[in-house]
């Protein structure tokens, strides 16, 4: 047998991959640690409000959890519309599990999306269709969120509600970002090259996160085909997609308004909407899992600009985040176990085929 050539380019490439993966993980963890260090003072403030929870009636938890639950149902309905499937179970469990996973790992939006469409494909939905639907839903949801400030600004101008200048300016910036996001979404809907690039990115992320599974291949080209299919599916039902997406965000906003009412604050809903969107936009910063710390910091600051006292803002932020951030984590774990119980055998059969 001839001696192994360590200088061969392919051998060097194979050996360098683990190093690159380790280096990338170290960089991601370092950035996450730095982000948590920056926002930790605000997190500590929110956690310090824990003893004040005794002053909040537990009965407020009922409408709060119901609002968040229906918000999730709206997201499932949006996914169901994009996928053009009838069963709710695989969609709900995949979305809950992916959402929970994205709040655990650093920069988890891509990892959560990868888990979500992998679980959907395990349930019998074509991987390309699942990936395209998850991407389309994400774009629709983001565009809807960033479009909400326009409603708030119009309401403020009509009602004459007082609002701090910096908060109004931040909302105006969000409107501009909304227009950019809508332009990006239109580009993905009608141009192939950006979608091919995005498909390659999703394919690499999925294969790196789920290394023990058979590698996914050919996703970019299938995304274009599935994009065209979803465009035809949503052609007549685009208003339903907007309705479900708006319901998802507005019910989450309702949960924040309930949290504010629970602590005795009575701000104008239009001003809180503007503060909510600015905080949610900060939460999209892909540094900490699920925007942890950035959302808290954004809510504390923007609720203060909305005229809410510091103690009430802290307590309301804690109550809201318990329902919107922490509660979905164990719920997602349960959803993953239920999904595995129903579809795990199918995955094993596919791996052995």
DSSP-H helix ranges across the chain:
9-48, 61-83, 89-102, 108-122, 127-159, 165-190, 192-209, 219-262, 269-283, 294-305, 310-321, 328-352
- Angle at 291 (CA atoms; ends 288, 294), nearest 5 degrees: 100
CA pair distance 95, 99, nearest whole angstrom: 6
Provide the 8-state DSSP code for 5.
-
Ranges of each domain in the chain: 39-345
Which position has the higher pLDDT, 277 or 78?
78
- pLDDT tier for residue 85 given thresholds of 50, 70 and 90: confident
CA pair distance 198, 200, nearest whole angstrom: 5
- pLDDT surpasses 60 at 65: yes
Provide the 8-state DSSP code for 50.
G
- Phi, psi (deg, nearest 5) at residue 148: -65, -35
Q: What are the angstrom distances between the C-alpha of 39 and each of 30, 45, 100, 226?
A: 14, 10, 21, 40
The average pLDDT across 85-105 equals 90
The average pLDDT across 112-128 equals 84
The average pLDDT across 31-56 equals 80
The average pLDDT across 214-243 equals 72
Lowest mean pLDDT among 17-31, 92-106, 176-190, 248-262: 176-190
CA pair distance 100, 350, nearest whole angstrom: 26
Which position has the higher pLDDT, 237 or 265?
265
Q: Taking each helix axis as running N to C, give the angle between helix 269-283 and helix 294-305, from 0 to 180 degrees, rounded to the nearest 10.
A: 150
Which position has the higher pLDDT, 108 or 45?
45
Ranked by mean pLDDT, the top range of 29-38, 228-237, 291-300 is: 291-300
Q: Percent of the chain at pLDDT above 90? A: 20
Q: Average model confidence (pLDDT) for the chain? A: 75
- pLDDT surpasses 60 at 166: no
- Angle at 322 (CA atoms; ends 64, 163), nearest 5 degrees: 70
The average pLDDT across 147-173 equals 53
Lowest mean pLDDT among 65-69, 123-127, 261-265, 334-338: 123-127
Using left for φ > 0, alpha for ψ between -120 and 50, and beta otherwise, residue 72 falls in alpha
Question: Which residues have C-beta within 8 Å of that of residue 184, sequence separation ≥ 6?
Answer: 139
Helices (H) and strands (E) in the chain, counts: 12, 0
- pLDDT tier for residue 229 given thresholds of 50, 70 and 90: low
> Token digits for 168?
């109004």
- pLDDT tier for residue 90 given thresholds of 50, 70 and 90: very high
CA pair distance 67, 223, nearest whole angstrom: 34
Nearest residue to 151 via CA among 310, 14, 276, 335: 276
Q: What is the full DSSP assignment across 255-318?
A: HHHHHHHHTT----HHHHHHHHHHHHHHHT-TTSGGGTTHHHHHHHHHHHHTT--HHHHHHHHH
Question: In this predicted structure, what is the pLDDT of residue 25?
Answer: 65
For residues 281 and 146, the answer to whether their CB atoms sit within 8 Å is: yes
Question: Which residues have C-beta within 8 Å of that of residue 58, sequence separation ≥ 6?
Answer: none
In total, the chain counts a number of residues equal to: 353
Lowest mean pLDDT among 69-83, 160-174, 242-256, 287-301: 160-174
Rg (alpha carbons) of the chain, rounded to whole number: 22
What are the E-state strand segments in 97-237? none
What are the E-state strand segments in the chain? none
> Token digits for 268?
């104008």
Question: In this predicted structure, what is the pLDDT of residue 221?
Answer: 79
Question: Which residues have C-beta within 8 Å of that of residue 109, sequence separation ≥ 6?
Answer: 102, 286
- pLDDT surpasses 90 at 204: no
pLDDT in tens, 247-298: 898 889 889 988 998 998 877 666 777 778 777 777 777 677 777 888 888 8
Question: In this predicted structure, what is the pLDDT of residue 16?
Answer: 47
Lowest mean pLDDT among 120-124, 301-305, 314-318, 333-337: 301-305
């Amino acid at each position: 047998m001839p001696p192994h050539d360590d200088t061969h380019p392919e051998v060097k490439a194979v050996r360098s991959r683990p190093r690159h993966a380790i280096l990338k993980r170290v960089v991601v963890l370092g950035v996450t640690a730095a982000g948590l260090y920056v926002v930790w003072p605000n997190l500590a403030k929110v956690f310090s409000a824990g003893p004040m929870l005794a002053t909040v009636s537990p009965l407020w938890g009922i409408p709060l959890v119901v609002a968040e639950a229906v918000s999730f149902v709206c997201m499932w309905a949006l996914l169901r519309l994009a996928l053009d499937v009838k069963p709710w179970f695989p969609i709900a469990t995949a979305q809950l599990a992916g959402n929970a996973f994205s709040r655990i790992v650093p920069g988890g939006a891509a990892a959560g999306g990868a888990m979500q469409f992998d679980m959907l494909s395990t349930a019998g939905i074509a991987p390309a269709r699942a990936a395209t639907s998850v991407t389309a839903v994400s774009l629709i949801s983001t565009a809807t969120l960033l479009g909400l400030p326009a409603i708030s600004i119009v309401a403020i101008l009509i009602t004459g509600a007082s609002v701090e200048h910096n908060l109004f300016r931040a909302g105006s910036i969000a409107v501009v970002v909304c227009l950019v996001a809508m332009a990006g979404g239109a580009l993905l809907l009608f141009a192939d090259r950006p979608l091919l690039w995005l498909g390659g990115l999703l394919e690499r992320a999925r294969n790196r996160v789920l290394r023990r599974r058979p590698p996914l291949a050919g996703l970019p080209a299938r995304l274009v085909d599935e994009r065209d299919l979803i465009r035809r599916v949503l052609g007549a039902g685009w208003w339903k997609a907007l309705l479900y997406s708006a319901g998802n965000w507005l019910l989450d906003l309702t949960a924040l308004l309930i949290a504010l009412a629970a602590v005795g604050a009575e701000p104008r809903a239009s001003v809180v909407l503007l503060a909510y969107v600015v905080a949610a936009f900060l939460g999209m910063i892909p540094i900490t899992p699920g925007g942890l710390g950035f959302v808290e910091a954004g809510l504390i600051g923007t609720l203060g600009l909305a005229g809410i006292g510091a103690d009430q803002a802290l307590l309301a932020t804690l109550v809201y985040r318990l329902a919107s951030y922490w509660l979905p984590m164990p719920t997602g774990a349960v959803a993953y176990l239920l999904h595995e119980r129903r579809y795990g055998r199918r995955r094993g059969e596919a791996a052995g085929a």
